[in-house]
Amino acid sequence: MKISSTGIVVLSVFGFMASVQAKTPEKNPQHQAANLPNPFSPDGYWQTERSEGKLASKIHVYQCGEKTVCGKIVALEEPNDPTTGKPKVDPEGRPLMGMEIMKNFKNSEGMEWTDGEIYDPKEGKTYSAQFEIAEAGKVMKLTGYVLITLLGKTQTWHRIGKDELLK
């Protein structure tokens, strides 16, 4: 097999020659894989679940070490405290915006990430945590727990774009 500079592949099998024109990928940016999230990777932006009086937030999940991911708050549905008008803070008085709430998740197998920690800024508590990526990379099922996962609580987060607003 020989590839010419014009993109034609020339095959030589048992002395017979055949050529095939290689098809070039489309130039349309919507079809380029570089613009689409890797469905096996948690890297990107995620909207948290609304539950028990909690409003949604946008979390940026990113590589924070070799084969390790972390996540921080980059947007809040309600960024300011309605009573004071000041930016929301956790029980220790630290601002929520920019706060790292996911730490040291390691890829254990396929689309499962374990041995991490999740910080609940409403309660000011840190829990052991794990998550899995599901539905072709569109959903993250994150479980925070104490001691064993069976006693934990699972939230479903949805992948959103960097510039996408909370829904």
Q: Are residues 138 and 68 in the same domain?
A: yes
- For the chain, how many structural domains are there in total? 2
Q: What is the pLDDT of residue 33?
A: 34
Burial, 77: exposed, middle or buried (Cβ in 10 Å; 0-12, 13-18, 19+)?
middle
Q: What is the pLDDT of residue 73?
A: 97
**pLDDT band, residue 107 (cuts 50/70/90):** very high
Q: Are residues 55 and 135 in the same domain?
A: yes
**Residue 61 scores a pLDDT above 50:** yes
Residue scoring higher pLDDT (114 or 21): 114
Rg value, the chain, Cα: 23
Per DSSP, the three-state class of 57 is strand
Q: What is the pLDDT of residue 43?
A: 96
Burial, 119: exposed, middle or buried (Cβ in 10 Å; 0-12, 13-18, 19+)?
buried
Q: Are residues 72 and 135 in the same domain?
A: yes
Residue scoring higher pLDDT (25 or 84): 84
Q: Are residues 129 and 113 in the same domain?
A: yes
Arithmetic mean of pLDDT over the chain: 81
Say if CB 45 and CB 59 are below 8 A apart: yes
Q: Are residues 42 and 24 in the same domain?
A: no
